[in-house]
Amino acid sequence: MKHINKLFVAIFLFGSIGCSDLLEEENRAGLTANTVYTSPAGFESLVNAAYSYTRAWYGKEEGYNLMEMGSDLWYPGVDNRRLDLMAYSNLQGSEAGLAATETFLERLWQRSYQAINLCNTGILGVKESGMTESLQKTREGELRFLRAHYYWLLTEQWGDVHFSTDATITAQTTANKTPRAKIYEQILEDLNFAIANLPVTTTQYGRATKPAAEGFLARIQLTLGNNQAASTLAQKVISDYTYKLLPKYADLWKMANLKNTEVIWACNYTSDLTLSDLTNAVTNPDGHPRGGHNGHLHFGMAYERTATGSIGMARDVANGRPFVRYMPTKFLLEVFDETKDSRYAGTFKTAWICNKAGKYKKKVGTEEIEVTLALGDTAIVATKYEVSDEVDRTKKYLIIDQSKMYKADGSFNGNAMFVPLQKFDDPTRPTFNEAQSGRDAFIIRLAEMYMIAAEAEMNLGNKTKAADLINVLRTRAALPGKEADMQVSASDMTIDFILDERAREFAGEQLRWFDLKRTGKLVERVKKYNLAAVAFVQDFHNIRPIPQKQIDAVTNKSEFVQNPGYK
């Protein structure tokens, strides 16, 4: 009997755990595409995520370096870590050995393709989303608008790039090089779908709308040389909707005015940092190493650095945390006539008010003068003009003048202290070292529609019309009483004037590199105004090097090759 009992227990233990249900994987805490993207709420999360990749490009150092720098407007600041991108020196696809915060090509390439894969997934799967038919159309329109935007970024930066409208289900090991023209066909198809299906307005700030798609298509048509279409679309956006230029240019950049009548589409950031894109192992595992809008960091100058001769200033929230990445070229400062154009003062910061009282030694030429600064005194003035030592000696404040910034030939002399761009400053950050700003990055604003229409009309030979369009912007930009002085006429309309006007209107707004490339002026203008790059820039720099990491990973290496000129 005893034996039988034991035998029973043994068989029980043996038999009870034999089933192999244990081997079925359930992943009860994780999510997969099949389960999430097939419900309306889940599909919304896909669309939200598809927008989030704009944060990789806009308001980020990666984006500034590829979209704004290497142009006629900017020199590297002393702390710039990507001098190769600033000046086209030694450009290669490899970013091996660089810190995670410095691998710009790889990150933007990767982020854009992650975005496109998600857009493709959504566009192909929207019918299974369980949404109402009309909402399906809207969301598909948004995804197509976004896909067009990401492909535009990719093909403008890298030329003939990998192109696919399929969702990646399994590991892919090859890539194709699709001609830029073919990619533009898809961009046009996507944008036309978006225009036909997107609503005119949205209550959810940051979503794409019909005018945003039209405005972006205007930009594309101008790029493709379809001037009539570009002008028509741009003027439609100007006249058919409720967008209005702000009365004062400087007001565009106030944190209180992030949402204003001029914004057609923006990359949305938040002051609630839980909704920002900083990497967090738990809540955002695949985020960005800095997060938020970073423009307030990168364009700042070293106002608080005593080692570079600064006086009277300590780092604070109002004056920002300067990363000293980008310094204006002499050309950029001089392209403004600040006696009549308010955009100079609206764009640049020229005075710092003492926030650290005390006795300081101020340098004038080679001598040192002792000055006493009280709170509220002017501590630093930065000016594009030359100030003589005689005058300098009579002032308590430190003067950063032309010769401190530039040599006679226009190359930079000192690049720690200069006249910095202040459009992206954010005095509402909670602490002075907080890198994440909640400033939204304007991607398309109304002023661009005027400039697109003007450029297209000029290309079509309608110079008077072009001047009229530009005068709308110049009238807004004029200092009080200077409106008449700001007007331009048909005879002023040249492509160089257009580019100068765009510099005045859009400096720092991540358009410059595309503008120079579109107009075929990249090499010419960089050689003329950017003396840091003059020795390096060549025609092939109109296209970026493909990240070596991408080339190394493809199995069809003979087809997918590096862009010409790069090694």
Partner 1 sequence: MFTSAYLGVNLLDNLSFKTNLGMNLTSTREGLYAGSQTNFRNGAQPLARYIAGNSVGLNLENILNYNFNVNKHSFVLTGVHSVLTNHFESSTAEGANQLINSQLYYGLANANSQVSIGASLKESALISYTGRLLYNYNDKYLMTLTARTDGASQLSEGNKWAFFPSASLAWRVSQEDFLKDNGTISDLKVRVSYGIAGNSAVEPYSTQSVLNRVPFAWDESAAIGYTYAPRIGNSDLKWETSTTTNFGVDFGLLNNRITGTVDVFTTTTKDLLLERLLPLSSGALSTIENVGETENKGIELGLNAIAVDKKNFKWNVGVNWFKVNEKIVRLATASNDVANGWFIGETTQSYYDYEKLGIWQSNEVDAAKAFGQNVGDIKVKDQNGDGKIDATNDRVILGSGRPSWIGNLNNDIKFHNFDLNLQLFARWGQMVRYAFTGVYDPQANENSLIHNYWTPENPSNDFPRPNASKSQSATLYYSSLFYKDGSFFKLRGATLGYTLPKSLVSKINASNIRVYISGRNLWTYSKIEDYDPERGGNFTNPMTKVFVGGVNVDF
Site for partner 1 in 395-434 (CB under 8 A): 430-434
Q: Which stretch binds partner 1 (CB under 8 A): 31-39, 138-146, 374-382, 518-526?
A: 31-39
Binds partner 1 by CB under 8 A, chosen from 1, 133, 169, 481: 169
Closest by CA to 162, choosing from 172, 171, 170, is 172
User: From the CB of 161, what's the least distance to partner 1, in Å?
Assistant: 7
User: From the CB of 205, what's the least distance to partner 1, in Å?
Assistant: 4
Binds partner 1 by CB under 8 A, chosen from 188, 224, 345, 551: 551
Segment 116 to 155, residues that bind partner 1, using CB under 8 A: 116-118, 121
C-beta of 204 vs 394, nearer to partner 1: 204
The answer to the question of residue 29 lying near partner 1 (CB under 8 A) is yes
**Residue 68 is encoded by which pair of tokens?**
């704004």
Cα-to-chain-centroid distance, residue 371 = 41
The answer to the question of residue 183 lying near partner 1 (CB under 8 A) is no
Segment 267 to 286, residues that bind partner 1, using CB under 8 A: 268, 270-277, 280-286
Residues 289, 98: contact at Cβ < 8 Å?
A: no
CA distance 246 to 233: 21
Segment 42 to 61, residues that bind partner 1, using CB under 8 A: 42, 44-52
Closest by CA to 56, choosing from 272, 287, 355, 317, is 287
Cα-to-chain-centroid distance, residue 528 = 24
The answer to the question of residue 179 lying near partner 1 (CB under 8 A) is no
Q: Which residues contact 530 (CB under 8 A, 6 or more apart)?
A: 70, 71, 72, 73, 74, 75, 87, 329, 537
C-beta of 437 vs 462, nearer to partner 1: 437
- What's 262's DSSP letter? T
The answer to the question of residue 301 lying near partner 1 (CB under 8 A) is no
The answer to the question of residue 80 lying near partner 1 (CB under 8 A) is yes
Report which secondary-structure segment, H or E, holds 367.
strand 367-373
Q: Which stretch binds partner 1 (CB under 8 A): 136-144, 214-222, 491-499, 555-563?
A: 555-563
C-beta of 107 vs 476, nearer to partner 1: 107
Binds partner 1 by CB under 8 A, chosen from 149, 162, 180, 445: 162
CA-CA-CA-CA dihedral for 480, 485, 491, 492, to nearest 10: -60
- What's 492's DSSP letter? G
Q: How would you class 385 by CB atoms within 10 Å of its CB: exposed for 0-12, middle for 13-18, buried for 19 or more?
A: exposed
Site size toward partner 1 (CB under 8 A) is 115
User: From the CB of 340, what's the least distance to partner 1, in Å?
Assistant: 36
User: From the CB of 358, what's the least distance to partner 1, in Å?
Assistant: 22
CA distance 5 to 80: 80
The answer to the question of residue 337 lying near partner 1 (CB under 8 A) is no
Binds partner 1 by CB under 8 A, chosen from 124, 224, 345, 435: 435
Which residues make beta-bridge pairs with 389?
none
The answer to the question of residue 205 lying near partner 1 (CB under 8 A) is yes
Binds partner 1 by CB under 8 A, chosen from 102, 160, 392, 524: 102
Q: Which stretch binds partner 1 (CB under 8 A): 131-139, 300-308, 418-426, 546-554?
A: 546-554
Binds partner 1 by CB under 8 A, chosen from 39, 84, 378, 395: 84
Report which secondary-structure segment, H or E, holds 550.
helix 548-553
Q: Which stretch binds partner 1 (CB under 8 A): 12-20, 225-233, 363-371, 523-531?
A: 12-20
Binds partner 1 by CB under 8 A, chosen from 63, 70, 93, 159: 93
Q: CA of 373: how far to CAs of 244, 369, 565, in Å?
A: 43, 12, 54
Residues 142, 208: contact at Cβ < 8 Å?
A: yes
**Residue 25 is encoded by which pair of tokens?**
């994987």
User: From the CB of 163, what's the least distance to partner 1, in Å?
Assistant: 9
Segment 494 to 533, residues that bind partner 1, using CB under 8 A: 532
Residues 82, 63: contact at Cβ < 8 Å?
A: no
The answer to the question of residue 171 lying near partner 1 (CB under 8 A) is yes
The answer to the question of residue 334 lying near partner 1 (CB under 8 A) is no
The answer to the question of residue 538 lying near partner 1 (CB under 8 A) is no
CA distance 326 to 309: 19
Amino acid occupying residue 100: A
C-beta of 187 vs 217, nearer to partner 1: 187
CA distance 347 to 471: 19
C-beta of 62 vs 501, nearer to partner 1: 62
Residues 255, 426: contact at Cβ < 8 Å?
A: yes
